[in-house]
Amino acid sequence: MLTKIEIENLISSARNAQANAFAHRSGHKFGSALLTTDGQVFAGCNTEAVISGLGVCAERSAIDHAVIHGKYEYKAILVVDKEITFPCGACLQYLFLFYQITSQDIEIYAVDSAGNYQMKTLTELLPSGYQTKTDLDIIKSFKNK
């Protein structure tokens, strides 16, 4: 479980990202912050597109931000919204890909606008995520890269 300071830092990073969300269609802005196993934080926000399906969720944006910096091992991810909202199935499955590198569960925090939060683990929210068999050695090769 994360410390109170780690959670507060993630909330701050996620809220800063949330302010930059590009939600021109729905006006529904999300922010997310990802904590790597080595203590680095990467934030993301949702980006909506005119063509449905071309946008990206805040959680996947944060994950991609970490990947750009060569970080593939994650301890926790946090998402901020007006109310307690856990990641969608697509984001959970995307996160599950990186879970396969270490097989260490990832804590997922959902935070509302008042700062209240709930935590669940990735395997609680996605108990039967698709796990690759053929590419598993390649995925695990990203450990400690």
- Residues designated catalytic: 59
Tell me which DSSP letter residue 46 carries: -
Buried/exposed code over 57-78 (b: 16+ C-beta within 10 A; e: otherwise): bbbbbbbebbeeeebbbbbbbb
> Are the CB atoms for 36 and 71 separated by under 8 Å?
yes
> Strands of 117-121's sheet, edge to edge?
41-45, 31-36, 74-80, 107-111, 117-121
Helix (H) or strand (E) holding 52: none
Angle made by CA atoms 35, 92, 40, in degrees to the nearest 5: 10
